[in-house]
Structure 1
Amino acid sequence: MKKLFSSSAALLLAVGASLVVPGSAGATEPYCGITWGSTGEQSVSSPLNETYLVDVRAGRHECFDRLVVDIEGFTGTYSVEYVDEVTGIGSGLPIPLRGDAELSILVESPAYDEDGDPTYDPDNQRELVDTTGYETFRQVAWAGSFEGQSKIGLGVRARLPFRTFFLTGPGETTRVVVDVAHRW
């Protein structure tokens, strides 16, 4: 009986040891060190003064594509999330976007001043940025500005990790930055 137990224990130990994979062999490093997710992000604080959306621009980076929303003044509120369909702010009408996933970007800053004059008036509302050659971005479209808020639709290649944050300055300016990774 004693010999049977020790033989069985040795067999179980040998099988178990063969199933153990060293940490470095089975683990993978995150793409470019990116640990972002794909769930919605928002900041919830009130604007400190009158703010106006003045520009939308984009850039390509080694590991991600970047969208920048330029705000005159210090803003404190944004909401960015994947949605089934981006809709126009105020109208609720669908905004068609290229790509297999859509990000809705809402900032609490109008694209018009206190007199109702535009502070941001894109020439082509369907193509705010030329995304030709971008790895992740497929289209950036204007979804409108209404009741002190502005909305942008971002069509991307797939539902990929993203992050959103503020950059402030120089002076009294704020930039809402949305980075979307090239892959998981």
Structure 2
Amino acid sequence: MQHHPRRVAVTASLLLTTAMGAVIPASAATHTGATRQAPATPLVANARWGGHCTFDRLVIDVRGTTPSVTVKPVKELRYDPSGKPVPLSGEHFLQITLSPATAHSAAGQSVYQGPRLANIHLPQLRGLALTGDFEGVVGFGTAFHAKPVYHTFKLHSPERFVLDVSHADRCA
């Protein structure tokens, strides 16, 4: 029996190339890297706020598609995963949870540029804390002196989540 190592190597290479071509979609094979793709898991990049005549607004900026967001009243705010209390003063709190999402890159570097703990002096919004970035869930806690009446929605281009909290008209 005669072996032809070069012929075997060429044949194996051709079979591997053919198999790979069948698995990789044409759009990926022709990708030049000129366009920036959205991250697989949305990245929470910033949180900011502002006061308006009849409401206070909290905006959470996201890179990628805005994930599912839940907002629920809680009796107290706690850091995830430690469970330690969040030091924000207020009588009412909202826990905001974005999932799936992270506030760090795949290499573990923080991409979140906003405040981790802030006292805020708006008519309703009194404090904000980044409460967690753990196992694909990013959490924020907000503090209020009065029970918040709020409305939430998402905006696009750029992606962001918005929480509006009503208050008496201070512009009138």
TM-score above 0.5, yes or no: yes
Query: How many Å apart are 1:89 and its aligned residue?
Result: 1.6
- Aligned residue runs from structure 1 range 75-154, under 5 A: 75-108=66-99, 109-122=101-114, 125-127=116-118, 131-132=120-121, 134-154=122-142
d(CA) in 2 for partners of 1:57, 1:175: 11
d(CA) in 2 for partners of 1:167, 1:49: 19
Task: Give the SS at the match of 2:165.
Answer: strand
**TM-score scaled by structure 2?**
0.69
**TM-score scaled by structure 1?**
0.65
Structure 1 runs (4+) greater than 6 angstroms displaced? none
Q: Which runs of 5+ in 2 are unaligned?
A: 1-38
- Bigger mean CA offset, 142-151 vs 48-57: 48-57
Query: How many Å apart are 1:160 and its aligned residue?
Result: 2.2
Task: Give the SS at the match of 2:78.
Answer: coil
RMSD: 1.7
- Aligned residue runs from structure 1 range 6-21, under 5 A: none
- Contact 2:71-2:97 within 8 A present in 1 as well: yes
- Contact 2:43-2:63 within 8 A present in 1 as well: yes
Task: Give the SS at the match of 2:128.
Answer: strand
Count residues with an aligned counterpart.
Answer: 129
d(CA) in 2 for partners of 1:67, 1:121: 15
Q: Which runs of 5+ in 1 are unaligned?
A: 1-47
Task: Give the SS at the match of 1:107.
Answer: strand
